[in-house]
Structure 1
Amino acid sequence: MGHYVIVGGGGFLGAHVISALQKIGCKERIIVVDPCPQEFKTIKIDKSNISYIKASFLDDKVLENILNGASAVVHLAAVGHTGLIAGDRKSVHNFNVNGTKQLIKQCKALGVKRFLYASSVAVSFIGEPLDNVTEDDPLPDPKKYLDFYSASKAEAETYVLSQSTPDFKTVCLRFRGIYGPEDPNVTLKVANLIKNGLFIGMVSAHGRESVSCASSGVNCAKAFALADQMLQNPDGLHGRAYYILDGENVGQFQFWTPLVLALGKQPPSFYTPYDFIKAVVPYFQNVCYGVFKLPPLLTKFELSILAVDNTYSIERARRELGYEPEPCVMTDVAKYYQDLEENEVATATTEWKSAISILIVFISIAFLFLFNLN
């Protein structure tokens, strides 16, 4: 068998995917393509058969060298979910959509047999409640997506699935809020909010705590390993999408309670007015992106998916992949942060950016009130 190529595999999810493949006995060489690979002390991997290429997958010359002789590609790279680039439609589309199309073109030209794509529940969410939605439900009108990232992931996923053939099998796995110890994205962002005293009020469109579920890095990686086994089966399914979550629907603020307590804070106990926040956030988001050139503390998408019920069925994954989620790892997250030194949780840089974002929030609210008064 040929080797694996994990595009964007130098991050938290990539490390978990490598670990999961090795746990099921993968002996093939693994090539990781990532401009900034990271180290994760809590994720055990054997690096003896792993090569790290510090480059962008958008570089055709890099792809030609690493894809030659590969059997499988795991595509994890994406931009626009967070950060300043999220406000740049062209850059997000070019990376997530055009980049994926070019990658598939190269894979086909060089004889790659299997293509596994990291998708998102964002392809289904447009700010309206979702109740145990399934993969058979149609995707929304592209014009209704709340951000550029969601629209780009939906377009890329649709393309990936359309390219599946018996000689080039594809699969897409939809995750929500990937979290776990050492996760530098969702988990770290929430930890910083908690430490900075900003995780103090709940927001909901329902008059009660909204309900959803999350995807631990462990469960995401487990699903990739199972999906790869399915694609290797000559009679296995392909061209399929799957929701991959922990399988435990829970209050969206209650979910983070172990981490809140581990950081010495109290869980939020009051609600902020949803209609007011919903009116402020788009304005605040535009000011951050357009004027201050900083990522906003909260985006329109983040507010909506936090305030609105959104739950997803994992029955297809259970039935077709044999996926059974591992238990929630939030207790492990809490222990990890509890053991960290103060300066390892929030650096001076993140604290400075948080302070600026908070200031912008108050300025935005003040302007909104003045505008309404006039």
Structure 2
Amino acid sequence: MGDASMTTDLGRVLVTGGSGFVGANLVTTLLDRGHEVRSFDRAPSPLPAHPRLQTVEGDITDPEVVAHAVAGIDTVIHTAAIIDLMGGASVTEEYRRRSFAVNVEGTKNLVHAAQKAGTQRFVYTASNSVVMGGQRIAGGDETLPYTERFSDLYTETKVVAEKFVLAANGDGGMLTCSIRPSGIWGRGDQTMFRKVFESVLAGHVKVLVGSKNVKLDNSYVHNLIHGFILAAQHLAPGGTAPGQAYFINDGEPINMFEFSRPVVEACGQPWPRFRVPGRLVWFAMRVWQVMHFRFGLPKPLLEPLAVERLYLDNYFSIAKAERDLGYRPLFTTEQALQQCLPYYVELFDRMKAASGEPLAHAAAPSPPEGAAPPSTMIRSAET
């Protein structure tokens, strides 16, 4: 368990990406806990005005804007990123430059400006993909080396930026750590289940891929936020968190199809019964991707990276976060699903209506918490 004597108050908190799914939920939680919060994003905040909330709109690649955003801030929680799942031959120089400008140079701007401003704590949002690299991982921990096999720009930028943030620990009196979420889900999610629903509506979900014993883990947004806050509190001199990375997830590895099933069925959609071998699908999608790049065929139905998550175990232990931070998930997957089903059913119905299909049922609308344009969200389904 984290040593309570080695924790600190967060003071004034800056949340980058504060208009996105994770950021807006984090801002709301911090306000509920009585903190002074500044939200920084290039998109307007979706949250109502609040006496303890300031908002700064601007670009993280602009050092002047960033210096303004961190002025007078004690703790930075950095969630902003560009989600580029491009990989291999699909990466144009322009995409590469943009991803590195925001995810790497933007992070460096933020670290340097925060050090100059006298900020004491900096929590970075990485991803479990920084160690994945296509191998089977069951209960992996933070001793795993960084992957050198990059299937997408997002992972590549997250590895570079996390290394930079952790190496900066202690410089200029600022303590740093990194959080590695798994697939992030919950009210306001515009990535994980949107991709599932797109596949369902396009009629692509006809079979189940891989064995039902293959598991991955996910990070319910309020479990992740709990992890962020604990990590920041443990960024104290002599505390456990400085210079460390932590996997933060729901602690319940589950098969992706079994996880999606209650949501898809709640949307009134049939669930496939037939299974096909994952390696076969991976090989087919890999060949299809090559044909796409070489001969201009349409894009494959699934990215090879996404298929890997369906047929390879891919889950991580939260033991280090339990020991160092006292982290335990606040919600079980079942409890979180009960809270989120109305939101997801409404999202599905909106997508179905937009696609011109008749609705299977009427769902009671539920206002999304911190739903926002996915402009500077952290990645979800493929995290």
Output the TM-score relative to the length of structure 1: 0.81
Matches within 5 A, 1:260-275: 260-275=264-279
Structure 1 residues 135, 345: CA separation in 2 closer, same or farther (over 3 Å shift)? Answer: farther
Task: For residue 148 of structure 1, report the CA deviation from its aligned partner.
Answer: 1.9
1:11 to 20, 36, 39: 20
Output the CA distance in 1 between the equivalents of 2:239 and 2:347.
Answer: 44
Matches within 5 A, 1:1-374: 3-23=12-32, 25-28=33-36, 30-37=37-44, 39=46, 47-82=50-85, 87=91, 88-140=95-147, 142=148, 144-165=149-170, 167-204=173-210, 207-231=211-235, 233-237=236-240, 238-285=242-289, 297-325=301-329, 326-328=331-333, 329-339=336-346, 342-343=349-350, 347-348=354-355
Output the CA distance in 1 between the equivalents of 2:255 and 2:337.
Answer: 14
Higher helix share: 1
Task: For residue 291 of structure 1, report the CA deviation from its aligned partner.
Answer: 8.3
| Identical aligned residues as a percent | 28
Between 1:316-325 and 1:290-299, the stretch displaced more is: 290-299
Partner of 1:366: none
SS in 1 for 2:185: coil
Task: For residue 138 of structure 1, report the CA deviation from its aligned partner.
Answer: 2.2
Task: For residue 272 of structure 1, report the CA deviation from its aligned partner.
Answer: 3.0
Task: For residue 219 of structure 1, report the CA deviation from its aligned partner.
Answer: 0.8
Task: For residue 274 of structure 1, report the CA deviation from its aligned partner.
Answer: 3.0
Structure 1: segments with no counterpart, 5+ residues:
350-374
Structure 1 residues 50, 200: CA separation in 2 closer, same or farther (over 3 Å shift)? Answer: farther
CA contact (8 A) 1:337 1:345 kept: no
CA contact (8 A) 2:61 2:101 kept: no
Structure 1 residues 122, 340: CA separation in 2 closer, same or farther (over 3 Å shift)? Answer: closer
AA at the equivalent of 2:150? Y
Output the CA distance in 2 between the equivalents of 1:102 and 1:284.
Answer: 39
SS in 1 for 2:75: strand
AA at the equivalent of 1:258? P
CA contact (8 A) 2:18 2:45 kept: no
Structure 2: segments with no counterpart, 5+ residues:
1-9, 357-383
> Which deviations, in whole Å up to 9, do the C-alpha atoms of 1:304-327 show, x marking residues without a partner?
122211111001111111111021
CA contact (8 A) 1:132 1:312 kept: yes
Structure 1 residues 259, 115: CA separation in 2 closer, same or farther (over 3 Å shift)? Answer: same
CA contact (8 A) 1:6 1:73 kept: yes
Output the CA distance in 2 between the equivalents of 1:191 and 1:346.
Answer: 12
Output the CA distance in 1 between the equivalents of 2:323 and 2:63.
Answer: 38
CA contact (8 A) 2:87 2:150 kept: no
Aligned length: 338
Output the CA distance in 1 between the equivalents of 2:224 and 2:74.
Answer: 21
CA contact (8 A) 1:285 1:298 kept: no
CA contact (8 A) 1:209 1:253 kept: no
Structure 1 residues 46, 314: CA separation in 2 closer, same or farther (over 3 Å shift)? Answer: farther
Task: For residue 176 of structure 1, report the CA deviation from its aligned partner.
Answer: 0.9
Structure 1 residues 168, 251: CA separation in 2 closer, same or farther (over 3 Å shift)? Answer: same
Partner of 1:365: none
AA at the equivalent of 2:111? I
SS in 2 for 1:131: strand
Structure 1 residues 63, 313: CA separation in 2 closer, same or farther (over 3 Å shift)? Answer: same
Structure 1 residues 344, 275: CA separation in 2 closer, same or farther (over 3 Å shift)? Answer: closer
SS in 1 for 2:155: helix
AA at the equivalent of 2:311? A
Larger RCO (CA within 8 A; separation ≥ 6): 2
Output the CA distance in 2 between the equivalents of 1:284 and 1:35.
Answer: 36
CA contact (8 A) 2:115 2:174 kept: yes
Task: For residue 84 of structure 1, report the CA deviation from its aligned partner.
Answer: 10
Task: For residue 20 of structure 1, report the CA deviation from its aligned partner.
Answer: 2.8
Output the CA distance in 2 between the equivalents of 1:313 and 1:77.
Answer: 25
Task: For residue 77 of structure 1, report the CA deviation from its aligned partner.
Answer: 1.2
